[in-house]
A = this chain, B = another copy of it.
Amino acid sequence: MISVAIMGHGVVGSGVAEILATHKQKLFAAIGEEINVKYILDLREFPDSPFADRFTKDFSLISEDIEVRVVVETMGGLHPAYEYVKECLSKGKSVVTSNKELVAAYGAELLAIASEQNANFLFEASVGGGIPIIRPINQCLVANNVSEIAGILNGTTNFILTKMIHEGMGFDEALKLAQELGYAERNPEADVEGHDACRKICILASLTFGKHIYPDAVHTEGITKITAADVEYAAVWGGVIKLIGSVKKLDKDTIDIIVAPMFVPGNSQLANIDDVFNGVMVRGDCTGDVVFYGKGAGKLPTASAVVADIVDSIKHIKSRKYLSWADSDNSSVLPFEKSVRAMYVRGVTDDREAAYDRAAAVFGDIHRLSKDNAPEGEIAFITEPLPYEEFESKLNELSEIKAESVIRIGDL
């Protein structure tokens, strides 16, 4: 019998306890031992829980108990999750977490402590909820040099964009619906401004390229400025708008990483990932493109990924999994102004033909987009790929166009 502790009895933590109970037999078959939930740490009381007798408010009970070999962190937030996880790892316990904020902020340090202590620090559930991503990248694609990862990493924004694309809703209306359905928080900032997706692409980038990439080094744009008109122009162009977290390896020392809404071509595997689903495309030199798709959040999907990590930790209780990356100063991140992409521009002008001609004179080849029922004076076009700073300065030259929307074109 292996004893584990669960810190945090919220949505994911209670799901973990539930799966450990409901899937007991299957888990026993997988590891040959019973998993005993010895403690659940939470400041609240849960007198009606089948685990009511395991609850404690005292973290030291867990950290001091040598019987507890695996600790699950599903508290969320940075503090005290960070301090607790660090303490557990320092005592040689393996830690499993679903907390992307924690991994994105302290992954390198916590992995280093785990390595020193010959313990495991696993976080499959931190990216893509129940979709297997971290382990496949780390193990199955080990014989590949991964050049690029791009994904739809946030279900809330994908739900909102799906409603805008397929039902013609505006952003505010779609957000309100997402809130009513419980897909978006009352304060939706972390989702709609792209911070959640940013943490996830940072974790995938760190894992893939071996250096910790901190979220504050990553240019992050949300979807709050996307309008129904932009969605329509994307359709005219032959694609859809998705919030994409993307990282590309440019050379040995440089990665191009960004979170931003992008035009995604209709034939991309990411274009058809709708509603709250997530999808991650991994481009390997041997495999080509591999895509993982599924529910990126939710109680049981996420909890099932946590439990898979518990199982893996128990199986490797004496032999560490080789999962680690070095700390870094973010110097390998290409400044986003240097990042090269084709750009979509929508704006208003007094004289459309003259404005298109001027745009072509300034940008070179442009691809004009036109849609039915466009307001008078509206123009939209797509440029050739160019560095963002060059794009900005050229757009500023175009004084006859008042740009209302600017969106990157994804090469996905």
Residues of chain A touching chain B, judged by Cβ–Cβ distance below 8 Å, are 19, 23, 26-27, 30-32, 124, 130-132, 135-136, 139-145, 269, 272, 284-295, 298, 300-301, 303-305, 307-308, 311-312, 315, 319, 322
Contact = CB atoms under 8 A, between A and B. Distances in A.
10 contacts: A19-B143, A131-B287, A143-B305, A144-B304, A269-B293, A272-B272, A287-B301, A287-B305, A289-B294, A315-B319
Contacts of A301: 286-288
A291 B281 CA distance: 12
Contacts of A293: 269, 290-293
A30 B300 contact: no
A7 B30 CA distance: 31
A301 to B, nearest CB: 5
B143 A27 contact: yes
Given A130-B287, A294-B287, A311 B269 contact: no
Contacts of A312: 139
Contacts of A315: 319, 322
Contact of A131 (B32, B143, B285, B290): B290
A290 B278 CA distance: 10
B300 A294 contact: no
A31 B295 CA distance: 32
B286 A303 contact: yes
Nearest to A143: B307
B292 A290 contact: yes
B286 A139 contact: no
Contacts of A288: 130, 294-295, 298, 301
A399 B399 CA distance: 75
A140 B136 contact: yes
Nearest to A266: B272
Most chain B CB atoms below 10 A, which of A294, A315, A322? A294
Contacts of A32: 322
A384 B208 CA distance: 48
A124 B139 CA distance: 11
Nearest to A311: B142
A30 B19 CA distance: 32
Contact of A286 (B144, B291, B304): B304
A298 to B, nearest CB: 8
Nearest to A274: B267
